[in-house]
Amino acid sequence: MLIAPRIPELARRDRFIRRAVAQRVVHAVSEGGALARVASRCSGTGAGVVLLWSARREAERWSDVLARPPRVTDLSLGALMEHVLPALAADGVAIGPDWTSDTIEPEIGAHDLDGRLRLEMLDLFVLGFQQSGRVWILEGPEGPASMPGRIEGTVSLACWSSAELAAASPAVSAPADAGGPEPMEDLLAALGPRVSGALASLSAPVESPPPQVPTTADRHRADRLWARLRPLSPAARRALVGEGEEFLTWEMAERLSLESEKIADTRAEEALALAELADRIAERASLQPKFGSLLRSLTTASLGHARRSAGLPYADAFRRSDELWRSGAGGDPAELLDGKRRIRLRSAVAAPP
């Protein structure tokens, strides 16, 4: 189990992230082709912690201690996020940012670091656009170039907040290949019918997505999504769910509430965060109204169970669960949802804490 970082650790972690994004490079010590690592002080997994620095001189300072013969390796931000972090995440290895062999050393999961780097990059891009009112794009013979998005079925428009970043991108073979500075109105004009259609839709009534038709097969998707969330901190989980529509499903709400129930007796704070996230997903998911009420009845009961484990008031949550269950009567003809869970959770908290 990872220990929650203290304030000095958070400050050092956040400083590392800001510097890494601003400089577009981090530094590591390597030995025999492998990145130097130390034992984790926060986790008992034995996978270790790979050390990274935002200042090369600090990596050089510690290289003799960590490797024989020592070698400092420069990692571009792209290489770090595309190759290094996914490999470390697969092995369960954490990252030690700006390591100093102090008694207080921050550790961060590879998935978590990737998400925080992306958020910092987005903030920096928005700030650059706000200051200049321009973006730089990559153009091909048919206009602005696009590429497959990270989310399946989406397309991304490559754009940068400065000419220097555009020219340095691996997507640009030479500075001349990058489009010049594009005022936003020119960019919209270049995108043509796609943007015209998007702008026209702003004045049209907003149509909600069709309600999800629940099936037992949906739970397989929840397994894959939970595998993405499980290594993350509660804050990173909330951020990822807030950005990804693929998480807003009945099966994901059910899965998170079940995970909360499993750990409520031993990790009450994390269980509460999972129950709150499950209830938020159930509230936002596009579902038939009665089925949605039944789902929220279960997630609200899970929230009450987690609140009791955390030593917080919980009676209102169970009263609300009863109301939602009554209003959803007949909304689950396939009996996908386990109504007995609601009774079991209530029974578990019947005795005074």
Q: Output Rg (C-alpha) for the chain, integer angstroms.
A: 24
Which H/E stretch holds residue 88?
helix 85-91
Q: What's the pLDDT score for residue 43?
A: 55
- Alpha-carbon gap, residue 232 to 159, rounded angstroms: 28
In 3-state terms, what secondary structure has residue 108? strand
Q: What's the pLDDT score for residue 174?
A: 42
In 3-state terms, what secondary structure has residue 35? strand
Query: Diameter of the chain by CA atoms?
Result: 72
| 291-322 b/e (C-beta count within 10 Å ≥ 16 → b) | bbbbbbbbbbbbbbbbbbbbeeebeebbebbe
Q: What's the pLDDT score for residue 193?
A: 44
Residue whose tokens read 């490559």: 158
| pLDDT tens per residue across all 353 residues of the chain | 344 444 566 778 888 999 998 888 999 998 777 888 888 766 555 678 899 999 988 988 888 888 778 788 899 888 899 888 998 888 888 898 988 876 567 788 888 899 899 988 888 888 877 777 788 777 766 667 666 766 666 777 777 777 777 666 655 544 434 455 545 445 444 444 443 443 344 344 445 556 768 899 999 989 988 988 888 888 888 888 876 778 889 999 999 999 999 999 999 999 999 999 999 999 988 899 999 999 999 999 999 999 999 999 999 999 999 999 999 999 999 999 998 999 899 888 765 54
Contact 270, 249 (CB under 8 A): no
Contact 136, 180 (CB under 8 A): yes
- Alpha-carbon gap, residue 38 to 110, rounded angstroms: 15
User: What is the full DSSP assignment across 313-347?
Assistant: --HHHHHHHHHHHHHTTTS-TT--S-HHHHHHHHH
Q: Which residues contact 33 (CB under 8 A, 6 or more apart)?
A: none
Closest CA to 260 of 278, 247, 240, 244: 278
Distance of CA 248 to the CA centre of its chain: 14
- Alpha-carbon gap, residue 306 to 270, rounded angstroms: 9
